Amino acid sequence: MLSVVSTSDDEPTQIGFIVAKTVGNAVTRNLVKRRLREIAFETVRRHPYGINVVVRALPASANAAWGELVNDYNRAFSKAASRIAELPGESVRQDAPATAVVKANVSKGDDVRDPSKA
């Protein structure tokens, strides 16, 4: 689950993570959080100012492969970002709300790299 809120253009982008005990034990939760943090770092590179993102890890994220997490995060962010009124560096949509929430189920997929194998 991912929420995006547009802020003023001079505020730095902030990303927060919610990884509840339903995801797994402390080791599993920290692994999920580290993976999500690495994935979300690209969002900060693309949008250094003007948005706040909250990522809530669902229990299925504990068993998800790296590629699945990357694909789900990117799909959820794209969907949520398209629904907010203004995303810095992109065109403004007049009919969109200032906040968007998107649920993304873990799906099968493959992607570029796995930080645990680096």
CATH of residue 26: 3.30.230.10
Q: What is the spatial distance between Cα 54 and Cα 68, in angstroms, rounded to a whole number?
A: 19
Whether residue 117 is contained in a domain is answered as no
How confident is the model over 54-92, as pLDDT tens digits?
999 999 999 999 999 999 999 999 888 888 754 555 544
The domain in which residue 63 lies consists of 2-108
How confident is the model over 20-65, as pLDDT tens digits?
999 999 999 999 999 999 999 999 999 999 899 999 999 999 999 9
DSSP, residue by residue, 36-52: HHHHHHHHHHH--BSEE
Q: Please count the structural domains in the chain.
A: 1
Per-residue pLDDT at 113: 46
pLDDT band at residue 103 under the 50/70/90 scheme: very low
